Amino acid sequence: MTVSNSSLRGQLLHNEKLAKYTSWRVGGEADRMYVPADKLDLQWFIAGLSINEPVFWLGLGSNLLIRDAGIRGTVINTRVKVKQMNLIDDVRLYVECGVPCAHVARFCSEHDLSGAEFLAGIPGTMGGALKMNAGAFGTETWDLVESVEMMSVGGKAEQYHADAFEVGYRAVKGVGSACFLSAVLKLSKDASQAGQKQIKKLLARRAATQPISQPSCGSVFRNPANDFAARLIEASGLKGYSIGGAEVSEKHANFIVNTGVAKAADIEQLIEYVQTEVARQQGVELHAEVCIIGDKST
C-alpha cells in the first residue's frame, strides 16, 4: 500500500474487524479499511495505492461471506459517504454506489417514479446490485440502467452506456477490474402513488417468506434454469440442517442463517454440503450466488 496524498479526507482504519460490517455477522479482520469522505476522495485514495495492492469493496455486506482469517489488503467501505442520489430530470436518477437499494426504491416512490419498487427487496447497495445484476420479485437491476460510471486502477473514472455490457442472470460481463462508482437509472413517471403500495406489498411478501429477523446474506444459490434452488434444497430434506452455528433456514431453504454462534467456516462448509447433497439427490449442480472472499483459518 502507498498512499501519501495529504488531500485525503476519509478515515483509514487498521486491523478492522469485519463481522460487524456483514449481514451474516461473521468474518475476520482487514489489514486496512478506508472510509472515503465522498466519491472524489475515494478516487484520490485509489490513485495513491500501489498497483499491486489487493482492494475489496464493501457496501452493506450482504451477498458476501468473509472468511475467519480476514482480508489481506485494503477494504473500501462505500456505504457511509459515497451515497449521493438526485434526480437528473423527470425520469432519470443519478445514484452512487454506496446508496442502499431500499433507499432508491423509497426515493423513487416519493417522487412518483415507477420501476424501482423491487429494489426494496434487495438487502445491499447499488454498487453490489450493479456488479451482480441483483434482482427480486422478477425484476433485475440492469433493467433500469441507462449508463454507469466506473473507476479503474489509478482512480480514473469513465462513463459507459449500458449497451457496453453483457448482462445476464446474476452476472455482468465487460467490467474487467474496474469498479462501479455510480449509475444513471431510467424510470417511468407515475403519479398514482401505486409505487408506495407496491413496495409495502413486496416487503410484506419478503417478511412472510424470508428469515429477515436472523443474520443471513440473502439468497445463497443461483436458481438453476427452469427451477428454484429453494425447491431443490427442500426436496433434499435439508431445511433445518446445521453445521456449527450455521443453519439452512426453516422458512426459506435458499437462506443460510447464523443462529448466533456461527463462524464463516461453518457457513462455507454448509454451503458445500448443500451443493453435494443436492447434486447427489437431485442431479443438479447448485452454484453459489454469494461471494466468498478472504483467508481461511489454519
What's the CATH number of domain 11-77, 3.90.1520.10, 3.30.43.10, 3.60.15.10, 3.40.350.10? Answer: 3.30.43.10
Could you give the CA distance from residue 254 to residue 233 in angstroms, rounded to a whole number?
A: 7
For the chain, state the CA radius of gyration.
19
Q: Is the Cβ–Cβ distance between 284 and 56 less than 8 Å? A: no
- Report in angstroms the alpha-carbon separations of 31 from 54, 55, 295: 10, 11, 12
Catalytic hit among 182, 219, 236, 249: 219
Tell me which residue of 181, 262, 173, 272 sits closest to 216, measured CA to CA. 262
What the block records as the C-alpha cell of 143 is: 433493467
Catalytic hit among 96, 149, 247, 289: 289
Mean pLDDT of 94-122: 94
The residue type at 52: N
Which residues in the chain are classed under CATH 3.30.465.10? Answer: 85-208
What the block records as the C-alpha cell of 5 is: 496524498
> What ranges in 61-125 are assigned the alpha helix state H?
101-110
Q: Is 170 a residue of the active site?
A: yes
Fold held by 211-293: 3.90.78
SS3 132: helix
The answer, yes or no, to whether residue 1 has pLDDT greater than 80, is no
Catalytic hit among 53, 114, 146, 170: 170
In CATH, the architecture of 85-208 is 2-Layer Sandwich (3.30)
Which residues in the chain are classed under CATH 3.90.78.10? Answer: 211-293
Q: Is 109 a residue of the active site?
A: no
pLDDT (tens digit, 9 = 90+) per residue, 113-162?
Answer: 999 999 999 999 999 999 999 998 889 999 999 999 999 878 889 999 99
Could you give the CA distance from residue 222 to residue 167 in angstroms, rounded to a whole number?
A: 15
Q: Is 219 a residue of the active site?
A: yes
The answer, yes or no, to whether residue 7 has pLDDT greater than 90, is no
Q: Give the confidence band of 197 by pLDDT, cuts at 50, 70, 90.
A: confident
SS3 58: strand
